[in-house]
Amino acid sequence: MSLAQGIRAGRAFVEIGANSAPLEAALARIKGRLQSFGASLTAVGAGLGGVSVGVLGALAWPLQLAARLETTSAAFETMLGSAEATQAMLAKLQAFGAETPFEFPEIADAAKKLLAFGSSADSVTDELRMLGDIGSAVGVPLGDIAEIYGKARVQGRLFAEDINQLTGRGIPIIQALAKQFGVADGDVRKLVETGKIGFPQLLKAF
């Protein structure tokens, strides 16, 4: 059974294929080939003067992308506990990225934050989709909303700072909570101060 991982960098894509080998082994092979190609270009460049410099500069981004993917993969494996779970997560995140305007590095960073704050591997993509819809609507980075959301999960309730961060980013959380509780907008902060707005209410508001 084959696995294809497409990681978006700007408008460019790097397709990484692996049969039954771990993702790290595939990455190592790719980096080795790119580095060998770069060494060959360097040798050729000795006879071409400055021409090879631009070529090698163009080669730098796939090397950087491979290194970034390797680091991301290692981080997820630490959090998820296995290479198989990591491959499944990366596949889900790549599929999510193909359906949204968000770039893979931003998606991966937001996913790591959600996992760190207690989200399950099975719920991450659904939560990213919910947060991504909000972020796209108000022009807020996905990672920012993921961090606020994750902290609220750990806290178990909303604090004034959370409300300020959300409203400061243009997210109409006060109006959504007011509607949910059937109170005026001005009463929402009082509910927050008395600890009556928990994470479940935030989730419902989102």
Residue numbers of the chain with a pLDDT score lower than 70: 1-67
Residue 18 is predicted with a pLDDT of 38
Residue 3 is predicted with a pLDDT of 36
pTM surpassing 0.75?
no
**DSSP at 198:** B
Contact in structure between 174 and 186 (CB atoms under 8 Å): no
Q: Which residues pair with 15 in a beta bridge?
A: 6
CA–CA dist 168, 7 (Å, integer): 32
To the nearest 5 percent, what fractions of the chain are helix, strand and coil? 70, 10, 20
Question: pLDDT digit string (tens) for 7-66?
Answer: 343 333 334 343 434 455 555 555 555 555 455 444 544 444 444 545 545 555 555 656
